[in-house]
């Protein structure tokens, strides 16, 4: 159960299938089962926090921590490129622009330094 995941592992199919089943049940939830029970405003509000919180928790740790320790400096190319992309995301709200500028920034810094 608690063993760590690996790409070559056949069990990965099993776990991805569980994720797929769970995701389907979440999508099904109100449309199929509870069509009479719309969640109240408080519950909807709490649900609305989840995307921002969950995605932030995935974005930052792996980039801010490099080699097992905090790496907040210009030597951390990915952190710098991420901050540039953050500004672009805030200004444009455009996925393509964020991807393009973020990747290009990383390539340029990697090439120059």
Partner 1 sequence: MSFNRSAFNRGVAHVSPLIPGVIPFGLMAGAVPVEAGVSPAMAVFMSVFVFAGASQLAIVQLVSDNASYVTILLAALVINLRFAMYSASMAPHFKGLEKPSRLYSPYLLTDQGFALSVNHFNDCQGPYYKLWYYLGISLPLWVLWQVCTLTGAILGAGIPPEWSLDFAIPLVFLSLVVPAVKDRSMLVAALVSAVVATAIYPVSSSTAILAGALSGVVSAYAFDRIYGYDGVC
Q: Tell me which residues in 30-59 interact with partner 1 (CB under 8 A).
A: 30-32, 34-35, 38-39, 41, 44-59
d(CA 70, CA 33): 46
Helix (H, G, I), strand (E, B) or coil at 98: helix
Q: Enumerate residues 69-108 that contact partner 1 by CB under 8 A.
A: 69-70, 78, 81-82, 85-86, 89-90, 93-96, 98-99, 102-103, 106-107
Q: Enumerate residues 6-35 that contact partner 1 by CB under 8 A.
A: 6-8, 11-13, 15-20, 22-24, 26-32, 34-35
Instruction: Tell me the sheet residues that pair with 66.
Output: 69
Is 70 within 8 Å of 93 (Cβ atoms)?
Answer: no
């Amino acid at each position: 159960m608690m063993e760590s995941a690996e790409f070559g592992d056949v069990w990965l199919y099993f776990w991805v299938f569980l994720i797929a089943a769970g995701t389907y049940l979440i999508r099904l939830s109100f449309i199929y089962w509870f069509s009479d029970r719309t969640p109240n405003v408080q519950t909807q509000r709490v649900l609305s926090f989840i995307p921002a919180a969950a995605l932030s928790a995935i974005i930052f740790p792996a980039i801010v921590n490099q080699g097992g320790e905090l790496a907040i400096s210009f030597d951390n190319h990915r952190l710098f490129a991420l901050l540039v992309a953050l500004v672009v995301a805030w200004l444009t709200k455009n996925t393509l622009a964020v991807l393009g500028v973020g990747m290009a920034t990383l390539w340029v810094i990697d090439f120059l330094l």
